Structure 1
Amino acid sequence: MIPIHENLQGKVAVVTGGSGVLCSAMSKELARHGVKIAILNRTAQKGEEVVSEICSAGGEAIALAADVLNRESLEKAKEEIVESFGRVDILINGAGGNHPDAITAMETFGEEVEGKSFFELEEKGFSQVFASNFTGTFLASQVFGKELLKQLSPTIINVSSMSSYSPMTKVPAYSAAKAGINNFTMWMATHFAEAGLRVNAIAPGFFLTKQNRDLLMNPDGSYTERSNKIMTHTPMRRFGNPEDLLGTLLWLVDDSYSGFVTGITVPVDGGFMAYSGV
């Protein structure tokens, strides 16, 4: 178990997409270190289970409804968080994901695979996936940024992806958005450096989540062809577990550990980026 980071005691973290597999693990770990957690999802019910787990373990947490593409809903959530906890020290931009309307059926053009080709992707689906991953990060950072700047050592953690470095086949909108997250992380880090706000990102390798399970696992529990390709290119030969992200998260949010670190995207990928394929 990771030693307690006493410097985090009493801080307040806002986690968008906080009911997801990865962000719920982050929320519960931060709560274990004494951080008060505000979980934001499009419906509050999605976060209630995570809140229940946190509170049962002795932590403090609330679940609120907020759409990261709706500034008004984010502003309302911010007001409720400040009313409940009095401040915001940490923002984790975890909302995002993918959607079938923005995924091609084939990996390369010309494959005889049933389903949508690149030319059949609808602009609405493509734009929605790009926006939920990138624009949602921008809007949440704007809305909560003013509260963050009131604190002594505030920080933003964006959630990137391996696809930001080398785009995965089939998911052009998601890949483009995550590449944008890396660049936006550097931009914000530079813009707010003198104001004391640090901005970094974590790029998970391949983790099993609700969004990608159908792409990676067959109904019988065996790996899909896509998963086998991932395993071949991941030197540690396994998918990541949510717990694999927690040490990196704690390092980045704790000013006493990473006070001179800003503008970076940290891969947590089992060696995926390091492997050339030969």
Structure 2
Amino acid sequence: MSKIIALTGAGGILCSTLAKALAKQGHKIAVLDLRIEAAKHIANEIENDGGIAIAVEANVLEKESLQIAKKEINEKLGPCDILINGAGGNHPLGTTSNSFLKEEDMLNDTDGFKTFFDLDPEGIKFVFDLNFIGTLLPTQVFATDMVGRSGCSILNISSMNAFTPLTKIPAYSGAKAAVSNFTQWLAVHFSKVGIRVNAIAPGFFLTDQNRSLLTENDGSLTQRGQQIIDQTPMGRYGEPEDLVGTTLWLCGDGSKFVTGVVVPIDGGFAAYSGV
């Protein structure tokens, strides 16, 4: 059965892959992104491949923007059946330079060097807003279409560092932990009105945001990139297509008794102790 699916952050590598995969299943796709040209590019690709899609500009941190986007989707496609909250990301101002604090770091005055004590509250707030508020607000707007209807669900994008925080990125790890917690809370809250709420927790996937941190210009691994591969039992980074199967399952009737779960898709990273 064809459903109307709204995806935020769908101009990016991971969510655009999900949008295309869902379109191939016959669903009608609303490609939402702050960057309208990126959204149009993905929507055009879907349509050129025989699918149905529209590009919609939306800022997940502005409720009025989301309400305008919802009105456009309702007019062009109909009421939303599924929401995928894909918008998210990190910020350098919420990231430390080193994994571990050393006494000599307190005297390091190198430009751009940041210890925990140098983290910018505004940078941390940006990360929490983008990931958590950027999940909450679209849910407030689009879930109004779903109340009391069958087959409706919400899929959030958490991260495997919501289970165990990664070094250097306290803001992002904390924000994704909030997304996982919110997923469970919302699943319970919406359980009587027919809306399922789940999340996927991707491990390490190469995206525009992290490519420079994990790989060198020649494509070889950085030190952190090698650490990650060494800690991943399957020995590779995830590919966008690795998210598709779980997404189709959680958005489909095959998981109609599944709600409140956060599914790691991380090549075994979260399960490995390193020994």
Category of TM-score, reference length = shorter chain:
over 0.9
Partner of 1:107: 99
1:43·1:64 contact (CA, 8 Å) conserved in 2?
A: no
Shift of 1:239: 0.3
Instruction: For 1:27 and 1:61, locate their aligned partners in 2 and report how far apart those are by CA, in whole Å.
Output: 9
Counterpart AA for 2:159: S
Counterpart AA for 1:201: A
Q: What secondary structure does 1:92 align onto?
A: strand
Correspondences of 1:177-192 after superposition (within 5 Å): 177-192=175-190
Give a deviation string over 1:152-180, Cα, whole Å, max 9, x none: 11000000101101111111111001001
1:91·1:156 contact (CA, 8 Å) conserved in 2?
A: yes
Partner of 2:272: 275
Partner of 1:247: 245
Partner of 1:81: 73
Partner of 1:265: 262
2:86·2:157 contact (CA, 8 Å) conserved in 1?
A: yes
Partner of 2:10: 18
Partner of 1:63: 55
Shift of 1:51: 0.7
2:84·2:155 contact (CA, 8 Å) conserved in 1?
A: yes
2:148·2:193 contact (CA, 8 Å) conserved in 1?
A: no
Higher mean C-alpha deviation, range 202-211 or range 104-113: 104-113
Counterpart AA for 2:269: F
Instruction: For 1:74 and 1:160, locate their aligned partners in 2 and report how far apart those are by CA, in whole Å.
Output: 21
2:11·2:35 contact (CA, 8 Å) conserved in 1?
A: no
Counterpart AA for 1:123: P
Partner of 1:232: 230
1:40 to 32, 50, 55: 32
Instruction: For 2:252 and 2:142, locate their aligned partners in 1 and report how far apart those are by CA, in whole Å.
Output: 19
Unaligned residue ranges in structure 1 (runs of 5+): 1-6
Task: Give the TM-score of the pair, scaled to structure 1.
Answer: 0.94
Counterpart AA for 1:40: L
2:115 to 97, 117, 120: 117
Task: Give the TM-score of the pair, scaled to structure 2.
Answer: 0.95
1:88·1:147 contact (CA, 8 Å) conserved in 2?
A: yes
Residue 193 of structure 2 is aligned to residue 215 of structure 1: no
**Number of equivalent positions:** 269
Instruction: For 2:146 and 2:9, locate their aligned partners in 1 and report how far apart those are by CA, in whole Å.
Output: 19
Unaligned residue ranges in structure 2 (runs of 5+): none
Partner of 2:125: 127
Give a deviation string over 1:155-208, Cα, whole Å, max 9, x none: 000001011011111111110010011110000000111111000000011100
Instruction: For 1:51 and 1:151, locate their aligned partners in 2 and report how far apart those are by CA, in whole Å.
Output: 27
Shift of 1:246: 0.5
Aligned residues: CA RMSD: 1.2
Residue 161 of structure 2 is aligned to residue 163 of structure 1: yes
Q: What secondary structure does 1:193 align onto?
A: coil
Q: What secondary structure does 2:192 align onto?
A: helix
Give a deviation string over 1:9-48, Cα, whole Å, max 9, x none: x211100000111100000000000111111111211211
